[in-house]
Amino acid sequence: MKAQVYREMSTDELESKVQELERHVFDLRSQATTEKLQDCRAAINARREVARIKTVLRQRQIEAKKQ
């Protein structure tokens, strides 16, 4: 998803999405070590999604401090 989609979501939704994606990344890493991973880009893409969400959360945190 694009960052704009994440900006439209609430903070609680974003935090739950991060937890879900981090579990998914862990599962993908486990599959990679056991050589059962079909798509090697899946782990990279999931990590990037986590980074996008964390960036949006950090931007919100900074904006809250300014006010």
- pLDDT digit string, tens, across residues 10-67: 999 999 999 999 999 999 999 988 988 888 899 999 999 999 999 999 999 999 998 8
C-alpha closest to that of 28 among 13, 15, 41: 41
Task: Kindly report the number of other CB atoms within 10 A of residue 25's CB atom.
Answer: 18
Sequence-distant (≥ 6) Cβ neighbours of residue 1 within 8 angstroms:
49, 52
Average pLDDT of the chain is 93
In total, the chain counts a number of residues equal to 67
1 has pLDDT over 80 = no
State the fold for domain 3-66: Helix Hairpins (1.10.287)
pTM of the model: 0.88
Give the separation between CA 36 and CA 10, rounded to whole angstroms: 35
The confidence score (pLDDT) of residue 40 equals 85
Q: What's the first-to-final CA gap in the chain, in angstroms?
A: 29
The confidence score (pLDDT) of residue 55 equals 96
